């Protein structure tokens, strides 16, 4: 980036055009947010023209954003040049669960020494909001509770002060958003144990400074969501299932 002189002798900074690049980033961010929060189901085919119309933009930024998401394993390419949210397979389910427990467990350990009362209040409020959402049994319960679940986890992880690990967590959530949404819907239909009980146990462990108990609560929380989907897979005849 260079500079020039204005008529009155002042130095002017030369700025590069930002229009298309900024638009692409905005489209990417919106699609990324939708995937993390489970707004697309596993197996959903995403067509460039349809997305461009919904986002009120041209096809180019959509195409480029989808390409980034394919490279991040959040989407997969199809032979007809469309892309889709990956189907859920047992192997993919197990791999994502292992990775999330490993990386997110480390984030909890890093966050524990830095947690404040304000942080704990944020976690408690997110949990209360999630409890209320499950009690309402709304039509969009999967999307609503997925967003609240993300708020809970990502506030906790942000306290750990590790941007590198946090970006890995974001990548894992990008790949498992559809799984978490479906797990919330299955849980709501089944009833029984409160969906946020492991979150409350995690909060209690964090307040007590008990790292081992906090890690166990996190493991239980992640495992339950994935186990609900495994149960659905077990009722199917094949190892590959589309949800929605």
CATH of the domain at 38: 1.10.10.10
Number of compact structural domains in the chain: 2
Residues 80 and 103 in one domain: no
CA 114 to CA 108: how far, in whole Å?
10
Question: pLDDT-based confidence at 5, cuts 50/70/90?
Answer: low
What's the rounded Cα separation, in Å, for the pair 25 and 53?
17
Q: What is the pLDDT of residue 244?
A: 35
Q: Give per-residue pLDDT as tens, 94-114.
A: 999 999 999 999 999 999 999
Does residue 73 sit in the same domain as residue 124? no
Q: Which domain holds residue 78?
A: 12-84
The reply to whether the predicted model has a pTM over 0.85 is no
Question: What whole-number distance in Å separates Cα of residue 96 and Cα of residue 77?
Answer: 20
Of 55, 84, 113, at which residue does a domain stop?
84
70: tokens are 């394919």
User: What confidence score (pLDDT) does residue 188 get?
Assistant: 66
3-state secondary structure string across the chain = CCEEECCCCCEEECCCCCHHHHHHHHHHHHHHHHHHCCCCCCCCEECHHHHHHHHCCCHHHHHHHHHHHHHCCCCEECCCCCEECCCEEHHHHHHHHHHHHHHHHHHHHHHHHHCCHHHHHHHHHHHHHHHHHHHHCCCCHHHHHHHHHHHHHHHHHHCCCCHHHHHHHHHHHHHHHHHHHHHHHHHHHHCCCCCCHHHHHHHHHHHHCCHHHHHHHHHHHHHHHHHHHHHHHHCCCCCEECCC
Q: Mind listing the pLDDT tens digit for each residue in 176-206?
A: 988 888 887 777 666 655 678 999 999 999 9
pLDDT value, residue 14:
47
Same domain, 141 and 31: no
Distance CA 230, CA 224 (A): 10
**Mean pLDDT over the full length of the chain:** 86
Domain boundary among 60, 84, 108: 84
Note whether 95 and 207 are same-domain residues: yes
Q: Could you tell me the CATH number of the domain that includes residue 142?
A: 1.20.120.530
pLDDT at residue number 193: 56
Residue-level pLDDT at 238 = 43
Residues 43 and 99 in one domain: no
Residues 205 and 182 in one domain: yes
- 147 and 232 assigned to the same domain: yes
Angle between helical axes of 59-71 and 48-55 (0-180°, round to 10): 120
Identify the pLDDT of residue 192.
53
Q: Tell me whether residue 112 is in a domain.
A: yes
Q: Is 126 a member of any domain?
A: yes
CA distance 7 to 113: 57
Same domain, 72 and 132: no
Q: What is the pLDDT of residue 139?
A: 63
Residue 21: CB partners within 8 Å, gap ≥ 6?
none
């Amino acid at each position: 980036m260079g500079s020039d002189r204005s008529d009155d002798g002042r130095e002017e900074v030369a700025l590069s055009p930002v229009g298309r690049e900024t638009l692409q980033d905005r489209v990417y961010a919106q699609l990324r947010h939708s995937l993390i929060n489970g707004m697309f189901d596993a197996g959903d085919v995403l067509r460039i023209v349809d997305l461009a119309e919904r986002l009120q933009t041209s096809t180019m930024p959509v195409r480029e954003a989808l390409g980034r998401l394919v490279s991040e394993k959040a989407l997969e390419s199809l032979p007809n040049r469309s892309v889709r949210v990956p189907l859920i397979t047992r192997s993919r389910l197990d791999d994502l669960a292992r990775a999330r427990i490993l990386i997110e467990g480390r984030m909890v350990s890093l966050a524990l020494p830095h947690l404040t009362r304000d942080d704990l209040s944020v976690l408690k409020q997110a949990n209360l909001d999630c409890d209320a959402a499950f009690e309402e049994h709304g039509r969009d319960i999967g999307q609503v509770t997925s967003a609240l679940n993300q708020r809970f986890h990502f506030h906790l992880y942000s306290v750990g002060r590790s941007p590198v690990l946090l970006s890995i967590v974001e990548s894992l959530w990008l790949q498992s958003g559809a799984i978490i949404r479906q797990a919330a819907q299955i849980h709501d239909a089944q009833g029984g144990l409160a969906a946020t009980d492991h979150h409350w146990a995690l909060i209690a462990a964090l307040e007590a400074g008990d790292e081992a108990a906090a890690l166990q609560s996190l493991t239980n929380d992640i495992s339950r969501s994935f186990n609900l989907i495994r149960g659905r897979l077990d009722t199917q005849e094949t190892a590959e299932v589309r949800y929605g």
